[in-house]
Amino acid sequence: MTNHLYDHLIAPHHSNDDVFLECSERDPLTYREFVRMSARLAHVLRASGFDVGDRIVVQAPKTFEMVALYAAALQAGGVFMPLNTAYKRDELAYFIADARPSVIVCDPASEVTIAELAEPLGAAVLTLDGDGSGSLTANLDAMPDEFAAADRTAHDLAGLLYTSGTTGRSKGAMMSHDNLLSNAVSLVEGWQITKSDRLIHALPIFHTHGLFVALNTALLSGLRVNFMAKFDLDAIIAALPNSTLMMGVPTFYTRLLSDGRLTKELVDGMRLFISGSAPLLAETHVEFTARTGHAILERYGMTETNMITSNPYVGDRRAGTVGMPLPGVEIEITDPETGQLVKDDQVGMIEVRGPNVFKGYWEMPEKTAEELRDTGFFITGDLGKISDDGYLSIVGRAKDLIITGGYNVYPKEIEDVLNDVDGVIESAVVGIPDLDFGEAIVAVVVVDTDADRVAERIDDAITGRLARFKHPRRYEFVGELPRNTMGKVQKNVLRENYSSD
């Protein structure tokens, strides 16, 4: 019997006594102990009615046990479906009804709510608390520490991750065993990750970044993971001298830069800083390099594709770009209207094909057909352009494109000008309905000083660098921009807020 992903990621550690996961709240967990915990959890799942091909929905705290539960679901031949811990009842009702899991694991505090949602499906409900306790683990020690892995091929489903659903219904992206394994192999090789690395992991694990990028590469390489419940600046600062690798979102790096303790000496032992899940400002990239001597490696991916591109480990990590396609991954830039290839260095729709690209949307064949071409290319919805030497730059989301007075305006072009202005921390540009122009441009700006003074500088910069039709009709100065859990600015929230004014 073979189980494609389990056989490559987890089974090789059966006799590995190196530390896998460590945190300040509990004793470290070795790889050998992790494999045994996973097997025991697989027995718990099977006893709860979890069968080959079933989905397991998990909305639980970030713990060693949740990582082992991911491995157990693979070992038992099922499909792992983690959910954002911030989701509320109505959101959960949709996900659970749509995915039809046979088992749901939740925080004890939400057990009553989850049980009500699970009842129509006959799904078992188990609990997992932040300290690893709960009905999931109550009888774990009594379970056998060996479990015969279910037969699963490279093309069988391993994960079901729902998109954030900022427009329309959230969609379940079906990830196969090989989608996940092929991507992990590319990243380990491309980023030169080895068992000697010590990874700072402060990301959530209900998302591609924290789960499939960080943990799959950790398991594949056998490295040691400093497993933090969340981003804590003091904890990160304390961990840096004894670490070699960090994967984070741009917010991690801006917060580090705000602290005077971040010095070249502090990160002397670090090998690589990686950023993703949201655009990294070029200013952040430049400032971080100047302060630490390390150039952040920015990469690009999404729920449906895992990682697509990466700046090079050896070579120019170019600020404002997301690098070049990973091995085996193809990118095309096409006209959003016609689907035809555009000329080099022109903006168009980013399309991607490769072993990393998902199998389609869960029980949405029409939506799958709309976004996944017969040729195998996936239409990402992101707009970008490729330089003459192959670096991809992301301009924005197609749905964020502003059409004002018949002209197409890319928000990032305006945001780049605003973010260069002295006193501006960051900005987000959106289009809102307008009777005269179709859409009016609104710039939402975060400043670190008096807004009136900054407004004068903004006016000078915009006037001098952008055509008149690209000038914002309105500026809003705010303390911070709304973001989702992974640090992406929620432009849909901004559009809704300022369209109603």
Where are the extended beta strands (E) located within 167-220? 172-176, 198-201
Looking at residue 3, the DSSP 8-state letter turns out to be B
Q: What is the pTM of this model?
A: 0.87
Structure tokens at 219: 């398991």
Using the structure block, give the residue that is written with the tokens 């921390």: 425
Q: Which element (helix H / strand E) includes 498?
A: helix 491-499
Predicted pLDDT of residue 119: 98
Spatial separation of the C-alpha atoms in residues 86 and 118, rounded to whole Å: 19
User: Does residue 23 sit in helix, strand or coil?
Assistant: strand
May I ask the CATH class of domain 401-499?
Answer: alpha beta
Using the Cα atoms of residue 59, residue 65, residue 71 and residue 74 in order, give the sign of their dihedral. negative
Reduced to 3 states (helix: H, G, I; strand: E, B; else coil), residue 217 is helix
pLDDT, residue 233, reads 97
Q: Which residues contact 80 (CB under 8 A, 6 or more apart)?
A: 56, 58, 69, 70, 73, 74, 158, 159, 160
Give the integer Cα–Cα distance in Å for 296 and 310: 11
Q: 311 near 317, Cβ under 8 Å?
A: yes
Predicted confidence at residue 405, as pLDDT, reads 77
Three-state SS for 459?
A: helix
pLDDT at res. 304: 96
Structural domain spans, the chain: 4-152, 191-295, 401-499
191-295: CATH, from 1.10.357.10, 3.50.50.60, 3.40.50.720, 3.40.50.980: 3.40.50.980
- Cα torsion at 70, 74, 77, 78 (round to 10°)? 30
Query: Which amino acid is present at 362?
Result: W
Nearest residue to 448 (alpha-carbon basis) of 489, 483, 477: 477
Fold of domain 4-152 = Rossmann fold (3.40.50)
Q: Quick check: 52 and 41 in contact, CB under 8 A?
A: no
Buried (b) or exposed (e) across 391-414, using 16+ Cβ within 10 A?
Answer: bbbbbbbeebbbebeeeebbbbbb
Per-residue pLDDT of the chain (501 residues; tens, 9 = 90+): 799 999 999 999 999 999 999 999 999 999 999 999 999 999 999 999 999 999 999 999 999 999 999 999 999 999 999 998 988 888 899 999 999 999 999 999 999 999 999 999 999 999 999 999 999 999 999 999 999 999 999 999 999 999 864 445 789 999 999 999 999 999 999 999 999 999 999 999 999 999 999 999 999 999 999 999 999 999 999 999 999 999 998 889 999 999 999 999 999 999 999 999 888 888 899 999 999 999 999 999 999 999 999 999 999 999 999 999 999 999 999 999 899 999 888 999 999 999 999 999 999 999 999 999 999 999 999 999 999 999 999 988 888 889 887 777 889 889 999 999 999 999 999 999 887 777 899 999 999 988 888 999 999 999 988 888 899 999 999 999 999 877 889 998 999 899 876
Q: Fold match between 4-152 and 191-295?
A: yes
